[in-house]
Structure 1
């Protein structure tokens, strides 16, 4: 029978630094095997799906067997069968206990912070975060929810991280490698600092993906993902996810997502399941191509600076080698003459497309100063490395010689 406790509410999650060791699903399997099988086994799930491939269950409501028993799926704002398969697979790939998806990466971040923080609390992060995340940190949460965001300026200093944390800190948030300047943060070091102060660490793993970096193995408690980028790989899905302890995930699902309603739809979840099957292969090719492109740009006389962890002169190159399997497909570079120079180069591309995303199979570029980071002050942009001549380049899966040729002819116009 129904109890007096509301079904659609869960007890708020409380971080326990010395709590039980979490168990992630399917960790006995290899990464590529998990990308193909986690969350759905045709024989084990025969009663629910009776299908070899994960079907699209489009229904947003589900019948009760009887008055006394809640069904496993009730209404689309909480969870649906196809989305649940994706959530289980993402948790398995990241090595986390559970996952909840959202309609975008920015929304996933919002729902995480909205769940954890209360007026007067704070979150510790840096300026090296994605543009929409910075907007939430700089204005949305401080102005509308009285949640403070503290920006650690020297992200390489563990002491600076420690000094920013106090008794009202609810979360430490790291994005590594960062977008668009590819700074690499010491996940293990920051995790040790945060845990010593009794605070969970969240790592945005969007640029590396779990194919190249495993933050939970390095001490992170929570993972943020934009599914839209490399995980999707072709700019056809808008989505996000949070992976972490089951108690936190259920808190987000039932106490925030259920009421906000910003969910991932079944069709998008089904598409993501197809794309994840090739994630490891794609990230290997992205990384190989980006390495070649970065090396070319670093030797070009008309390029002032190249940001890519795979280059030996990158400030955190050694750290990247320790905590990443490869360096990914995102890089950025600075051309002379500021915005005018960037515009000339970008308008001269013939193969490379100017578009506002990254992680697609085709190579695309974007100008951070005028798009993602236009809302920062000049002092903040300087601190974050957002030069007027900075061009972000998401290196695709084309023949790398063709990408380099297009860059070469465009740079020749400077």
Structure 2
């Protein structure tokens, strides 16, 4: 019966483990260690770990395992490993499978910390990285080589919301035996199944939509059991990227309402994008389900909804953008996203501030760009707040 459950049902029930007390809400096992009845039992567990056995919280924990099983069920993955943050998931997925001399091809439009890992950390240890325009399949074809081990991309880029054709990129990568690692944060597990589109490994910062209320850091890597347990887990458990049991419990609670929250947020994001499209104070509105979006057809083919994020480019550059940000009443200035509260960010001076101006220009991160994460407030109030702030210009 569990195999026929829909995602919303899995988000509430999948992976549940109950103790002898029969608790309804998942238990938080706040323990870093586990005990054994005998020395022989300890030896046996270290030799071969059973399905529901644990050694040390850095290796695994019952609460964390519940979260891993549940998100894997929702995503349609064989297995998952939960990490301390989204960036621990990104760095862990890449570092666990790469070594000096390997080649990676990556989309150029990425979150600033992802760029740092690819540009600074991997290359420091002898990994060669080639960046391409992720929306141009010809550039992927030209960059991928017989020795390419992985391709990395954000399904929807941060903050310019470029949409990558995952199926086409996967076909190019798989032709040379490379794994496709996809950061699916903006698309969410509700609106896009990247594994079904050809990705081999999917990454989330659970800090975003999965928590959804700005409480805890977390990340997760999803893929085949072989990748998670034979490649990712040995690296992650020895380098200490494990998610805490308390944070895993928070993420479990977040999953229960993930579908409901994301659908409400996406409906508001769509209405907001439509209301702002063509506004005289804006150079452009970027939202995957607006017909003006350059990858509109790909977005409609890959995603169920347009997501919870949009970006606007304010005429007048940084000064005008700051004036709009400071005039908002409901939207909160912060650098998080996927929250129940609506959030605005100025990427050029915050999340992507370290990039040189020419690279910002290449990525479309203009001085007037504002990234908007739409929350759960009344849609009409959000539209009135933003249009009112734009009116101050």
What range is the shorter-chain TM-score in? over 0.9
1:148 maps to 128
**Which aligned pairs between 1:367-406 and structure 2 lie closer than 5 A?**
367-406=346-385
Return the offset for 1:148: 2.2
> Are residue 82 (structure 1) and residue 63 (structure 2) matched?
yes
Return the offset for 1:301: 0.9
> Are residue 413 (structure 1) and residue 392 (structure 2) matched?
yes
**Which aligned pairs between 1:71-110 and structure 2 lie closer than 5 A?**
72-110=53-91
2:288 maps to 309
> Are residue 241 (structure 1) and residue 241 (structure 2) matched?
no
> Are residue 63 (structure 1) and residue 35 (structure 2) matched?
yes
Unaligned runs of 5+ in 1: 1-24
> Are residue 116 (structure 1) and residue 116 (structure 2) matched?
no
Q: Secondary structure at the match of 1:53?
A: coil
* TM-score, L = length of structure 2: 0.94
Given that 2:33 and 2:55 are in contact with CA atoms closer than 8 Å, whether structure 1 keeps it comes out as yes
Q: Distance in 1 between matches of 2:71 and 2:252?
A: 9
**Which aligned pairs between 1:253-402 and structure 2 lie closer than 5 A?**
254-402=233-381
2:22 maps to 50
1:18 maps to none
Q: Distance in 1 between matches of 2:255 and 2:168?
A: 30
C-alpha distance 180-270 of structure 1, shift in aligned 2 (>3 A): same
Return the offset for 1:299: 2.8
Superposition RMSD in Å: 1.5
2:14 aligned residue (24, 38, 42): 38
Unaligned runs of 5+ in 2: none
Return the offset for 1:274: 0.7
Given that 2:144 and 2:172 are in contact with CA atoms closer than 8 Å, whether structure 1 keeps it comes out as no
The total of aligned residue pairs comes to 384
Given that 2:108 and 2:132 are in contact with CA atoms closer than 8 Å, whether structure 1 keeps it comes out as yes
Q: Distance in 1 between matches of 2:370 and 2:56?
A: 44
Deviates most, 27-36 or 387-396: 27-36
Q: Distance in 1 between matches of 2:55 and 2:288?
A: 46
1:134 maps to 115
* TM-score, L = length of structure 1: 0.90
Given that 1:364 and 1:396 are in contact with CA atoms closer than 8 Å, whether structure 2 keeps it comes out as yes
2:204 maps to 225
Given that 2:88 and 2:241 are in contact with CA atoms closer than 8 Å, whether structure 1 keeps it comes out as yes
Return the offset for 1:164: 1.1
